Amino acid sequence: MIGTIFDIKEFSLHDGPGARTTVFFKGCPLRCRWCHNPEGLKAESELMIKRSLCRHCGRCLQPCEHPECEPYERCIHACPHGLIQVSGEKYGVEELAEILMRHVDYFRRCGGGVTFSGGEPLMQSQFLLELARKLDCHVALQTSGYADKDVFQAVVGEMDFVMFDIKLADRQQHMTYTGVFNDRILANLDFLRRSGTDFLIRTPLIPGITDTEENLDAIQRIVGGDPWETLPYNPMAGAKYPMLGMHYALQDRKS
Partner 1 sequence: MDRALYELIQKKKHHMYRRELSVSLDFAGKPPEERMAMRFEKLCEAETPVILPGEEICYLRTISRIPDIFSEAEWQEIRKTKYIHELGYMSNVSPDYESVIRDGLLKRREAADEYGRRAIDAIFGLADRYRDEAVKQGRRDIAKTLERVPRYGATSFREALQFFRILHFSLWLEGNYHITVGRFDQYMFPYLQADMEKGLYTEESALSLLEDFFLSFNRDSDLYPGVQQGDNGQSMVLGGMDSEGNDAFNLLSKLCLQASEDLKMIDPKINLRVSHNTPLEIYEMGTRLTRAGLGFPQYSNDDAVIEGLTDLGYDLQDARDYVVAACWEFIIPKVGADIANIAALSFPKIVDTCLHRKLAVCHTFEDFMAAVRQEIHEECGRICSSIQNVWFIPSPLLRLCMGEIRYRNEGIHGTGIATAADSLYAIQKYVYGHEIEPDAFLDMIDSDFEHHGEWLPKLRYETEKMGNDVDDVDTIAVELLDDFADALAGRKNDRGGIFRGGTGSAMYYLWHADEIGASPDGRRKGEAFGANYSPSLFAKTKGPFSLIKSFVKPNLKRVINGGPLTLEFHSSMFTDEACIQKVAQLVKTYIDLGGHQLQLNAVNADVLRDAQQHPEDHQQLVVRIWGWSAYFVELDKEYQDHVLQRTEYTI
Q: Which residues bind partner 1 (CB under 8 A)?
A: 8-11, 13-14, 18-19, 21, 59, 77-80, 82, 102-103, 106, 109-110, 112
Distance of closest approach, residue 35 Cβ to partner 1, in angstroms: 19
Q: How far is the CB of 73 from partner 1 (least distance, A)?
A: 18
Q: Give the relative orientation of helices 183-195 and 149-156 as an angle to the nearest 10 degrees.
A: 30
Give min distance, CB of 170 to partner 1, in A.
31
Contact 184, 178 (CB under 8 A): no
Least spacing, CB of residue 199 vs partner 1, in Å: 18
Residue closer to partner 1 (CB basis): 10 or 148: 10
Residue 32 Cβ vs partner 1, minimum distance, rounded to whole Å: 22
Q: Using an 8 Å Cβ cutoff, are 43 and 26 in contact?
A: yes
| Residue 109 or 149 with smaller CB distance to partner 1 | 109
- 53 or 187, CB closer to partner 1? 53
Of 14 and 194, CB closest to partner 1: 14
Contacts of 202 (CB under 8 A, 6+ apart): 163, 164, 165, 166, 228, 229, 230, 231
Give the C-alpha separation, 116 to 33, whole Å: 22
Cis amide prior to 224 (ω within 30 degrees): no
Choice between 9 and 149, CB closer to partner 1? 9
Q: Is residue 230 within a helix (H) or strand (E), and if so which, with residue range?
A: strand 228-231
164 with 192: CB under 8 angstroms? yes
CA distance 184 to 197: 19
Q: How far is the CB of 164 from partner 1 (least distance, A)?
A: 20
167, 204 contact by CB (below 8 A): yes
Nearer to partner 1 among residue 13 and residue 187 (C-beta): 13
Residue 223's closest CA among 156, 167, 150?
A: 167
